[in-house]
Amino acid sequence: MIKSKLEICIKILCVLSSKIPMNIRGLKTKVEADEEYLKQNLRLLWNRGLIEEENFEDNQIYYVISERGLIVLKVINPIIKEAHKIKICEFSY
């Protein structure tokens, strides 16, 4: 099932809201998205300052949610909950 950019971006932010840095492999499992599509959406979120990249000793890129990303997630969370209640659309969370 292909998810929209919005669904993928929200899911990424939700996963990263745990504040545990995740590499692409971990995110791919949690978000359940194709790696290339996931990378495109990570770049979109990074370009907008919603996530940050960190490098650790293993030379892999890890992603973390930024303060701005947390603020955006807090704003959209009530909207998503309300959409579930009135069933405007289906979210798969």
Number of domains into which the chain is organized: 1
46 within domain boundaries? yes
30 within domain boundaries? yes
User: In terms of C-beta density within 10 A (0-12 exposed, 13-18 middle, 19 or more buried), how is residue 15 classed?
Assistant: middle
Q: Which residues of the chain have pLDDT under 50?
A: 1, 93
Q: Note the pLDDT of residue 48.
A: 96
Q: Note the pLDDT of residue 89.
A: 54
91 within domain boundaries? no
Residues 6+ apart with CB under 8 A from 2: 37
21 within domain boundaries? yes
Residues 6+ apart with CB under 8 A from 44: 5, 9
18 within domain boundaries? yes
User: What are the pLDDT digits (tens) for 65-90?
Assistant: 999 999 999 998 888 777 767 765 55
Residue pair 7/91 in contact by the 8 Å Cβ criterion: yes
Range of the domain at 46: 5-86
CATH of the domain at 9: 1.10.10.10
